[in-house]
Amino acid sequence: MAGQNPNHPEKGTTISVEPIRKIKDVNLIKTMLKDKPRDYALFITGVNTNLRASDILNIKVHQVHGAKPGDELTLNEIKTKKPRRINLNKAVIDAIQPLLKHMRDNGTLELDGPLFRGQRGNTLSVPSLSRLVKKWCQDANLKGNFASHSLRKTWGYHQRVTFGVGLPELMVCFNHSSQRQTLDYLCIQPEEIKSVYENEL
């Protein structure tokens, strides 16, 4: 149905996807994907940046070839058409290297080509990534609704819950207009509110 795309809950849809809330589940999926260079790099890039799935899949090889931790990646967002600059951390760089080697070894490394390819060598699609994310989460026995957008939400969720990043900073990262919007988006408001009611006088 129109207006019910689980990959884009920020568009006011009625179906929302969830973040992967537990670090142990993130680590389990990382372990499961370790021998699959493309999928591993996709997952690591997704949960270590707040890029939308469409923007991750639009990354070209030349944008990350030779990159080092802390290097800046500049791209034009598919949704907003605006330029976006992020810094790539060590986890992303380390995950991309085996993928580049795999592509080099099988003769598919093209500097102007997509970093994340489908089976036919073309750019992987967002629906295909959603199917992959669903499968990864099912294989990890996670309960809930997961899709490609879960990767971006996982980044934000753990910035807040695990690393203690403030809501004002996350509002800027997600271009939200209020702290409530950010909490709702990251599916953590119920937990925040619950903690308030647990305070004893």
Domain that holds residue 110: 17-148
Residue 156 to residue 152: CA distance in whole angstroms: 7
Residue 60 to residue 57: CA distance in whole angstroms: 8
Q: Does residue 119 register a pLDDT over 60?
A: yes
The alpha carbons of the chain give a radius of gyration, in whole angstroms, of 17
Residues 54 and 75 sit within 8 Å (Cβ to Cβ): no
Q: Does residue 5 register a pLDDT over 60?
A: no
- 15-41: pLDDT as tens digits: 589 999 999 999 999 999 999 999 999
Residue 137 to residue 145: CA distance in whole angstroms: 9
| CATH code, domain carrying 52 | 1.10.443.10
List of E strands, the chain? 72-76, 83-87
Residue 195 lies in a domain: no
Residue 187 lies in a domain: no
Residue 9 lies in a domain: no
Q: Does residue 2 register a pLDDT over 70?
A: no
- 138-165: pLDDT as tens digits: 999 999 999 999 999 999 999 999 999 9
Residue 198 lies in a domain: no
Q: H or E stretch including 32?
A: helix 23-33
Q: Does residue 13 register a pLDDT over 50?
A: no
Residue 118, φ and ψ in degrees, nearest 5: -85, -175
Residue 134 lies in a domain: yes
pLDDT of residue 4: 41
Residue 189 to residue 197: CA distance in whole angstroms: 13
- 158-189: pLDDT as tens digits: 999 999 999 999 998 888 899 888 988 888 86
Number of separate domains in the chain: 1
Residues 67 and 93 sit within 8 Å (Cβ to Cβ): yes
- 57-115: pLDDT as tens digits: 999 999 999 999 999 999 888 888 888 889 999 999 999 999 999 999 999 999 999 99
Q: Does residue 3 register a pLDDT over 50?
A: no
- Residue 58's nearest CA partner among 91, 29, 83 is 83
Report residue 192's pLDDT band, with 50, 70 and 90 as the boundaries: low
Residue 130 lies in a domain: yes
Q: Does residue 136 register a pLDDT over 50?
A: yes
Residue 95 lies in a domain: yes
- Packing angle between helix 23-33 and helix 126-139, nearest 10 degrees? 110
pLDDT of residue 8: 46
Residue 191 to residue 169: CA distance in whole angstroms: 20
Residue 111 lies in a domain: yes
Q: Please, how many CA atoms are within 13 Å of residue 135, restricted to the half-sphere of its CB?
A: 10
Structure tokens at 111: 């500097």
